[in-house]
Structures are given as C-alpha cells and as structure tokens.
C-alpha cells in the first residue's frame, strides 16, 4: 500500500484527480491499495473510506442493489411519490404486447438490469417495431422494461450529501444527412475534426435501428441522424446547476435521504429543471438513479460553469 502525494496524483484522469486533490487539501491521507488499479483508501482521524472512481465504501449496499434494477427503482419512486414514466416488466413478447396495449404507444424498451444505455430503443410506435426491438433488448438480460415515452430536456443531476452538487443538460450526437454519403462515411467525415472521435459500437447500431437506419443507409439531405443519447459519446453537456428550482432540489434531496445514498447521479427528463417536475404545466420524470455516477463532464462542460464535484464528494465523506 503506497501513500500518495500531490506529485503522484497529477498523473491520474481528471475525475480521480479531483477527488484525491480535494482529499489532500483537507489533510486526508490518501493511499493507493493495488499498484495498477484505481483503488484508494482515505484516512483521517478514526475514519476510513475506500473508493474506486466514484464507487464508495459508504454507499448503502441494499439501495445500490435496488437502483441497479430499473423495475425496483420505479417502485421506490412511486412509493416516494416522485414522478417516473409509467412502465412494466416483460419476459415474453405476449407480455410486452399486453403492456403496450395498456400504456399505449410510443414506448421506450430497455433491459431491466443492464447499464450503459445498451439495448435501449426509443420511439417504438407499432407492434412490428415492438416485436423487433423487444427481442433485441431481451438479448441483454432475462427481462425488459417497457415504459411510456416522455419528452423534454435530458438532465444529469449529481447529488452529494443529499444536496445538488451539479446539474448538466445533455444531448447526444446528431449528424445531418447529405443524400449521397452513407452513415459510415458521415461518421468518418465527422471524426476528421472531432475530439474525441466517435467510435461505432453495438450501441450505435441499436440507436440507428430504432430510426430505421443501418451503417450502410444513406440519409436524405438535412435528415438528422442520432448517434448517441448523451454528451459522453459526442454530444454536449451544458451546466444548469443554478437553474434548478427549490421544489425540485427538495424532491431529489428527499429521494437520496430515503435511499441512504450519500452520492448519486439522477437522470431526469423535464420540460425545464427550473420548474417543479410535479407540475402539470412543466412535467418532469426521474428515469434512473446511479449510485456511482461519473462526474467528469461537470469539470469541463461544453458550456457553462465548471463544477468541482470532487470537492463536494470529499466534503460529504469527511
């Protein structure tokens, strides 16, 4: 086990560096536990916290188990009277069709327990699409969630110590078609100037599929093609931390207190984060909760004020 100092921490990526530098500034001793792994032990007085990136040893393991399951997450949100899209679990196509008839199209289909946005299909608006995308989503696990599609701006709210530490509005990567190049060529052209470059994955193919495209498709001129859901894959992140209204901040604080989550990332779709999400005039919905949220994009958003989430997390821990 190696004790770490400022000179040692400078080589780490921005998120890890933010956490560890904040710890040293509060006279917290930092130790690297395993040589080639980002596993650290923080010690001050009689308190010890382990961390690996945003994963913390103080996180409630029962709550972490709940929020990894999208169905149980919905149940918890309903109990706490926090808006979430109407949705249900299906293991068979017959069950999925019954749910579709109950909550009506358009739908979102996504794996119940899989993370990272893989196997997620939006704008499922017909039985043929339901059959196609249900099977694809089911390939990522034993069952899937079908939920009513809701619309608005997509926000990632990072909570630390039951308080809002940072809010980012994010949108994915969209490229316009030109009527001559196929999608593979559009990506190649985009990557000539993009930093970082966009990488084609199975998730890319899934996102293209619900739009009716493949990598060989040639989109018509000015037709906008979506390639990702968020700024983490080529889109943008805009800081909206100071825009959240008091009512929404209280709702999210209540949520993290009840689930005993010291650190959490909460994904919200809302008309406007500055308006109460419980209002019929400005509806909003909590989609998912992450117990080990990646906060790198708060440090360097596409627009708006950078937020040093590492300091907020360390202040919560010690």
Q: Looking at residue 123, which CATH number applies to its domain? A: 3.30.1490.20
Q: Are residues 93 and 142 in the same domain?
A: yes
Residue 281 lies in a domain: no
Enumerate the β-bridge partners of residue 238: 169, 303
Domain annotation covers residue 268? no
Of the three residues 166, 193, 227, the one that is the final residue of a domain is 227
pLDDT, tens digit, for every residue of 87-115? Answer: 999 999 999 999 999 999 999 999 999 88
* Whole-number Å distance between alpha carbons of 101 and 123: 15
Residues 90 and 144 in one domain: yes
Do residues 48 and 90 both lie within one domain? no
10 Å Cβ neighbour count for 168?
Answer: 26
Name which of 248, 250, 254, 251 is nearest 276 in CA terms: 248
Q: What is the C-alpha separation between 162 and 158, in angstroms, rounded?
A: 10
Q: Which of 227, 248, 267 is the last residue of a domain?
A: 227
Judged against a pLDDT cut of 90, whether residue 11 lies above it is answered with: no
Residue 24 lies in a domain: yes
Shared domain for 143 and 90, answered yes or no, is: yes
pLDDT band at 35 (very low <50, low <70, confident <90, very high): confident
> Number of folded domains in the chain?
3
* Domain of 8, in residue numbers: 2-58
**pLDDT (tens digit, 9 = 90+) per residue, 130-185?**
999 999 999 999 999 999 999 999 999 999 999 999 999 999 999 999 999 999 99
Q: Are strands 153-160 and 163-171 parallel, antiparallel or unpaired?
A: antiparallel
Residues 35 and 184: their CA atoms lie apart, in Å, by 40
45 falls within a domain: yes
Do residue 41 and residue 96 come from a single domain?
A: no
User: What beta strand segments (E) does the chain contain?
Assistant: 2-4, 29-32, 39-44, 47-52, 55-56, 87-90, 107-111, 121-124, 144-148, 153-160, 163-171, 174-176, 224-226, 236-239, 263-270, 284-290
182 plus 220 within the same structural domain: yes
Based on the number of CB atoms within 10 Å of its own CB, is 10 exposed (0-12), middle (13-18) or buried (19 or more)? Answer: exposed
117 occurs within a structural domain = yes
In a domain, 299, yes or no: no
Residue 27 lies in a domain: yes
Asked, for residue 131, whether it belongs to a domain, the answer is yes
> pTM for the whole thing?
0.91
């Amino acid at each position: 086990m190696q004790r770490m100092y400022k000179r040692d921490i400078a080589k780490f990526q921005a998120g890890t560096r933010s956490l560890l530098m904040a710890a040293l500034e509060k006279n917290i001793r930092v130790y690297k536990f395993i040589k080639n792994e980002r596993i650290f032990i923080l010690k001050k007085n009689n308190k010890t916290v382990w961390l690996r990136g945003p994963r913390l040893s103080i996180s409630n393991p029962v709550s972490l188990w709940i929020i990894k399951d999208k169905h149980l997450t919905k149940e918890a949100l309903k109990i706490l009277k926090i808006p979430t899209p109407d949705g249900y679990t299906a293991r068979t196509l017959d069950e999925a069709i019954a749910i579709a008839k109950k909550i009506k199209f358009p739908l979102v289909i996504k794996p119940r327990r899989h993370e990272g946005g893989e196997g997620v299909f939006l704008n499922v608006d017909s039985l043929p699409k339901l059959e196609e995308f249900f099977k694809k989503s089911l390939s990522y696990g034993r069952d899937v969630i079908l939920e009513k599609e809701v619309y608005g701006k997509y926000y990632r709210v990072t909570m630390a110590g039951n308080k809002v530490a940072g809010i980012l509005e994010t949108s994915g990567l969209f490229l316009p078609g030109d009527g001559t190049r196929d999608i593979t060529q559009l990506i190649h052209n985009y990557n000539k100037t993009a930093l970082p470059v966009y990488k084609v994955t199975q998730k890319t193919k899934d996102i293209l599929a619900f739009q009716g495209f493949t990598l060989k498709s040639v989109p018509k001129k000015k037709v906008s093609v979506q390639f990702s859901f968020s700024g983490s894959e080529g889109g943008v992140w805009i800081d909206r931390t100071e825009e959240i209204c008091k009512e929404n901040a209280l709702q999210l604080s209540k949520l993290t207190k009840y689930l005993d989550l010291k650190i959490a990332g909460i994904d919200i779709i809302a008309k406007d984060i500055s308006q109460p999400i419980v209002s019929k005039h400005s509806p909003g919905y909590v989609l998912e909760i992450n117990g080990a949220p990646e906060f790198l994009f708060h440090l360097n958003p596409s627009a708006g004020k950078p937020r040093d989430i590492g300091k907020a997390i360390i202040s919560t821990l010690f």
